[in-house]
Homo-oligomer: A and B are copies of this chain.
């Protein structure tokens, strides 16, 4: 059971989903490809944390829909109270920023402009998700810590903060590149 397993259990604790769906839902908060998720689900099923049933579809290919077991749910609840490991951030941009003095001003501007654009795109993406949440759920739902919507709400808020933060940082650097 690695961290990704708990992320998948956290999704399945809300609703049963196929491996393909799990891959899509977890993407924004934990990067994982289908080639990592499918074998992991099989392993988790072997160990009794999830089960699956095949759901036949007529408009799309058939799928395996996974559900969390009570053993999986217990495991998930225990994990939340265990010590939390520190976040790991690996951003090539940080290393490039460190070596910025080795490049010409035009390249530096290009580098930070495209990164500002990346943050703008992410911001729009998360704003859209947040709007969707607020349309679907009432305030009493997503503002209540006991509600599943609360977790999604605070997660999206963190993602929004982070994107704004990154965007502001890029603009700040760009302003110095233009004056300096």
A: which residues have CB within 8 A of B? 3, 6-7, 9-11, 13, 29-31, 73, 76-77, 79-81, 84-103, 105, 107-108, 110-111, 114-115, 118, 143-148, 150-152, 154-155, 157-158, 161-162, 165, 168-169, 172-173, 176-177, 180
Contacts and interface: CB of A to CB of B under 8 A. Distances in A.
A161 to B, nearest CB: 5
B95 A6 contact: yes
A87 B90 contact: yes
Contacts of A90: 3, 30-31, 87-88
A171 B105 CA distance: 39
Given A97-B154, A161-B165, A92 B85 contact: yes
Dominant secondary structure of chain A at its interface with chain B: helix
5 contacts: A7-B95, A87-B93, A101-B147, A108-B145, A146-B180
A145 B94 contact: no
B150 A100 contact: yes
A161 B92 CA distance: 18
A100 B151 contact: yes
A103 B87 contact: no
A169 B154 CA distance: 8
Contact of A98 (B3, B96, B151): B151
A143 B177 CA distance: 9
